[in-house]
């Protein structure tokens, strides 16, 4: 033991130095890659809001066919059998991902967002980050444990680069791996890579918005409870969003199997549905919908069901086979919902939008810590007390659901619910705990006896 007293700090120092080098190199490479993607995105997305319905419908149909063909035939270039999901790569594939198909999802996302499909921009960046980090780990011949950490910090760097929130992005890349568990040994690499990628992207001219929300006045218990109530509403909205995405995805898969449809046709069918919906819904809900979110954060009231229209269009877009991110839509859904319901609670629409924006991310992605830090980085330290309770409440309300079907359940969110550990949420069927079931059965028997005694 005395020998370890000197050896241990030296090993820890070597570990810090090792990850400083690996994370800085990885973060710099990912920052460049994400900056190139974002530059291409800015040049192609957000130009369809003012065009005619016929032009928009034509773009959606063309984009759907291009997406279908690219995703169907592009993956035939893959030599390995590895999944390209970062969560699966860390949890099940020892940090390995296919590299030859790295370009497919970014190109598919550019097509989706360029034609007006309702999706997000962070998915391609996290995919780029994970794939580039996996490639670096392969070139350096790192062992499986180091490759897993490097891949996770690649995801963190991708999120930090796209949103301009280096600390929240770093935590998100680690927290999204499993519900209820954070690998603390992943944090230092993730933070270093996230900060590096953010600084590189900023140096390369990627613009990041600055929000100025007035979190002023005395913070009271009543105000805290109001923000928690917004969090509960956001958790319910996230529940609806996740269920919509999964239900519509299953419906399109069933349609393909039942009628033996050519897979590239599914996004085309989704485009037809989107085109018909925007005959009655504003086209603001297509694409990234960032102008909609910015109006909500600018203290403008939003329609009560606006969050539902955005959730529906995103679910159809992604469920039918278009590719795009799924976190940016959570921002929009939360901001619109919070802005719509804040006045009923005596709060400013902008404050409700800010709280709702991060609360939906906390619940739909099961990442409450990252969401709280995101609120701090986006809106300033004054927002901490406003967003903390809302994020944790929303995280609990959605239960054991996730926008990431591969996300594992490490711990149940309630002692009244049983869930087996280390199974993906898409496979595990949570159930009531034995103790609660026994209490409920006993209670029903007591009520049954009382009813029998009242009978003549």
Lowest mean pLDDT among 165-174, 229-238, 422-431: 422-431
Return the HEC string of 352-363. HHHHHHHHHHHH
| Mean predicted lDDT score pLDDT of the chain | 88
406-417 per-residue burial string, b: 16 or more CB within 10 A, e: under 16: bbbbeebbeeee
Run of H or E residues at 408? strand 408-409
* pLDDT band of 220, cuts 50, 70, 90: confident
Run of H or E residues at 417? strand 417-418
Stretch 375-392: mean pLDDT = 91
> 252-283: per-residue pLDDT in tens?
999 999 999 999 999 999 999 999 999 999 88
Helix (H, G, I), strand (E, B) or coil at 412: coil
Parallel, antiparallel or unpaired: strands 408-409 and 178-179: parallel
Report the distance separating Cα 70 and Cα 67, nearest Å.
5
Report the distance separating Cα 103 and Cα 234, nearest Å.
34
| Structure token digits, residue 352 | 């409700």
pLDDT of 228 > 60? The answer is yes
Place of tokens 């180091």: 146
* pLDDT band of 431, cuts 50, 70, 90: low
CA triplet 377, 317, 294: central angle to 5 degrees?
Answer: 35
Report the distance separating Cα 308 and Cα 333, nearest Å.
8
pLDDT for 183 equals 84
Stretch 395-404: mean pLDDT = 91
Report the distance separating Cα 350 and Cα 353, nearest Å.
5
> 118-169: per-residue pLDDT in tens?
999 988 999 999 999 999 999 998 998 899 999 988 999 999 999 888 899 8
Tell which wins on pLDDT, 368 or 95.
368
**C-alpha 306, offset from chain centre:** 19
- Reported residue count of the chain is 456
Question: Tell me, what DSSP letter sits at residue 178?
Answer: E
pLDDT of 5 > 90? The answer is no
Tell which wins on pLDDT, 7 or 369.
369
Stretch 318-326: mean pLDDT = 93
Distances (CA, A) of 405 to 86, 105, 192, 205: 12, 18, 28, 34
Run of H or E residues at 424? strand 423-424
* pLDDT band of 202, cuts 50, 70, 90: very high
pLDDT for 182 equals 87
Q: What percent of the chain is predicted at pLDDT more than 90? A: 61
pTM: 0.91
Lowest mean pLDDT among 13-17, 47-51, 448-452: 448-452
Question: Tell me, what DSSP letter sits at residue 75?
Answer: G
Report the distance separating Cα 87 and Cα 83, nearest Å.
9
| 53, HSE (Cβ side, Cα atoms, 13 Å) | 10
Tell which wins on pLDDT, 447 or 401.
401
> 25-79: per-residue pLDDT in tens?
999 999 999 999 999 999 988 788 888 999 999 999 999 999 999 999 988 877 7
Report the distance separating Cα 412 and Cα 179, nearest Å.
8
| Structure token digits, residue 64 | 């759907």
Report the distance separating Cα 220 and Cα 143, nearest Å.
51
pLDDT for 438 equals 64
Q: 10 Å Cβ neighbour count for 446? A: 10
pLDDT for 313 equals 97
Report the distance separating Cα 162 and Cα 164, nearest Å.
6
Q: What percent of the chain is predicted at pLDDT more than 70? A: 92
Report the distance separating Cα 338 and Cα 231, nearest Å.
9
* pLDDT band of 424, cuts 50, 70, 90: confident
């Amino acid at each position: 033991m005395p020998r370890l007293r000197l050896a241990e700090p030296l090993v820890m120092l070597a570990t810090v130095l090792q990850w400083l080098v690996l994370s800085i190199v990885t973060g710099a490479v990912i920052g460049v890659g994400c900056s190139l993607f974002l530059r291409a995105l800015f040049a192609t997305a957000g130009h369809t809001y003012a065009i005619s319905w016929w032009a928009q419908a034509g773009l959606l149909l063309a984009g759907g066919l291009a997406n279908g063909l690219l995703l169907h035939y592009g993956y035939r270039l893959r030599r390995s059998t590895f999944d390209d999901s970062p969560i699966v790569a860390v949890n099940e594939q020892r940090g390995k991902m296919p590299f030859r198909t790295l370009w497919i999802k970014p190109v598919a996302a550019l097509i989706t967002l360029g034609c007006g499909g309702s999706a997000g921009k962070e998915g391609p960046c996290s995919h780029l980050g994970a794939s580039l980090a996996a490639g670096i780990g392969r070139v350096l011949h790192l062992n499986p444990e180091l490759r897993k950490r490097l891949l996770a910090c690649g995801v963190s760097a991708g999120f930090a680069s796209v949103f301009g929130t280096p600390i929240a992005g770093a935590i998100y890349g680690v927290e999204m791996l499993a519900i209820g568990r954070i690998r603390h040994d992943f944090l230092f690499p993730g933070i270093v890579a996230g900060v590096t990628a953010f600084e590189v992207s900023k140096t390369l001219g990627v613009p990041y918005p600055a929000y100025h929300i007035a979190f002023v006045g005395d913070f009271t218990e009543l105000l805290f409870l109001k923000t928690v109530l917004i969090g509960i509403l956001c958790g319910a909205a996230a529940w609806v969003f996740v269920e919509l995405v999964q239900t519509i995805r299953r419906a399109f898969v069933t349609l393909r199997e039942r009628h033996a449809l050519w897979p590239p046709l599914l996004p085309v069918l989704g485009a037809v549905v989107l085109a018909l919906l925007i005959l009655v819904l504003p086209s603001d809900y297509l694409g990234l919908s960032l102008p909609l979110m910015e109006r909500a954060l600018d203290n403008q009231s939003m329609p009560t069901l606006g969050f539902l229209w955005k959730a529906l269009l995103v679910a159809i877009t992604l469920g039918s086979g278009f590719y795009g991110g799924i976190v940016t839509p959570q921002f929009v859904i939360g901001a619109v919902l919070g802005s719509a319901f804040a006045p009923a609670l005596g709060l400013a629409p902008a404050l409700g939008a800010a709280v709702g924006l991060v609360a939906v991310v906390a619940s739909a992605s099961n990442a409450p810590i990252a969401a709280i830090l995101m609120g701090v980085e986006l809106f300033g330290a004054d927002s901490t007390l406003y967003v903390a309770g809302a994020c944790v409440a929303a995280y609990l309300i959605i239960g054991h659901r996730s926008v990431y079907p591969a996300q594992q359940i490490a711990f149940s969110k309630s002692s009244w619910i049983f869930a087996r550990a280390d199974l993906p949420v898409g496979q595990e069927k949570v159930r009531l705990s034995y103790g609660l079931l026994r209490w409920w059965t006993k209670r029903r028997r007591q009520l049954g006896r009382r009813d029998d005694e009242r009978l003549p």
